[in-house]
Amino acid sequence: MENSKQLRTWLDDMKLSHPLVIAGPCSAETEDQVLNIAHQLKDSDVNYFRAGIWKPRTRPGNFEGVGALGLNWLQRVKEETGMKTCTEVANTNHVKLALENDVDLLWIGARSTVSPFIMQEIAEALEGTDKIVLVKNPVNPDLALWLGGIERLYSKGIKKLGAIHRGFSTYEKSKYRNIPEWQIAIEFQNRFPDLPLICDPSHITGNREMVFDVSQTALDLNFDGLMVETHNDPDNAWSDAAQQVTPDSLKQMMVDLRVRKETASDKNYREGLENLRAQINVVDNQLIDILGKRMKIADKIGELKKEKNVAVLQSKRWNEILGNMILEGENRGLSEEFVLKMFKAIHQESINHQEKIIKG
């Protein structure tokens, strides 16, 4: 995207003294519920009141939102509290109704971002609007698909753009509802540093007890803001009950979260950082050297297997290595999740080397 610095203008224009905060219930359930939550949040650091009007669910039969009726409730929120409003749009009709009802910010959900056809239709429906539009990452960890959706909007003249990182679906067992895959968000920031990036800790965690920690991690990574699902009675919410926090919990979280400076100018900091980074560079070079040596050993194993006509994959041996390395990692302060990812990548590279030798 050319002239991408235009994309940050809407956020800069807000002149916030804190990260952007979007909060409100996962779903608008009743008018009283929506207004109750909004009034509890109106004197807080919340910049936009969110509420799901249309709720795309994985399977039919679950609560799928109150529909267009809820847009009237958002209008009342704006009239009574002065808060700006936002909601998710998943098709052109949603866009039309949201614009007609003067919703201030629209976001496009993970299930929509995954489809270039849907994104193109939404982009065409939004053409000519000056609304802020945020795009959640697709459910699968595909950076190109995420960027492609944003580019479709940009090509239709939508300049008040931003992205929401809500984690990625996985079949692997994890403490997260959607694994954060922070490295994808970091790569996103590197590719488009002028595109505002918001974290959705509610969908990443699926657990209100973890929302604070993930929010702090996002701020430590220099995210521009947070979208936190907030409900006046979360245990009895009609959707995603486990991940919603109360308004009071959100307010306390805003007090406890620490916003890090991008850098520090004093001499001791700069010299100390340069020294530590030099040490990191040395260790990184050592890691590459060690991995290269490991692959040479894997090549020799491949040659031996080829000679004896033995299968490349040895599941028992692999499981033994993985179990031992998880224990060794724990002893060195490394998380099981990190060790699993690292050794799965190393194992796959070893298999690739051995297959190449056997097929050659």
What are the tens digits of pLDDT across the range 304-341?
A: 998 989 888 888 888 888 889 999 999 999 998 899 88
Q: What's the CATH code of the domain at 31?
A: 3.20.20.70
pLDDT in tens, 132-191: 999 999 999 999 999 999 999 999 999 999 999 999 998 777 889 999 999 899 999 888
330: containing domain: 267-359
Residues 233 and 349 in one domain: no
Q: Which of 193, 222, 256 marks a domain boundary?
A: 256
Is the pLDDT at 291 greater than 70? The verdict is yes
Residues 189 and 48 in one domain: yes
The total domain count for the chain is: 2
Structure tokens that stand for 340 in this block: 């699993």
Is the pLDDT at 6 greater than 80? The verdict is no
pLDDT score recorded for residue 293: 94
261: in domain: no
262: in domain: no
Q: What letter would DSSP give residue 54? A: S
pLDDT score recorded for residue 165: 98
Distance CA 134, CA 210 (A): 24
pLDDT above 70 coverage of the chain, percent: 97
Is the pLDDT at 360 greater than 80? The verdict is no
221: in domain: yes
Q: Which of 256, 276, 303 marks a domain boundary?
A: 256
Is the pLDDT at 294 greater than 90? The verdict is yes
Distance CA 160, CA 164 (A): 14
pLDDT score recorded for residue 55: 79
Residues 288 and 158 in one domain: no
Distance CA 227, CA 229 (A): 7
Residues 252 and 281 in one domain: no
| H or E, element range at 119 | helix 116-126
pLDDT score recorded for residue 2: 59
Rg of the chain taking only CA atoms, in angstroms: 24
Distance CA 39, CA 52 (A): 17
Distance CA 334, CA 166 (A): 24
Residues 323 and 192 in one domain: no
pLDDT in tens, 260-269: 776 777 888 8
32-48: average pLDDT: 97
Residues 6+ apart with CB under 8 A from 78: 84, 85, 102, 104
Is the pLDDT at 3 greater than 70? The verdict is no
| Dihedral, 95, 96, 100, 106 alpha carbons, nearest 10 | 10
pLDDT score recorded for residue 261: 73
Q: What's the CATH code of the domain at 336?
A: 1.20.59.10
Residues 241 and 143 in one domain: yes
Write down the pTM of the prediction. Answer: 0.80
Q: What letter would DSSP give residue 27? A: B
Residues 211 and 75 in one domain: yes
Residues 210 and 288 in one domain: no
Residues 96 and 229 in one domain: yes
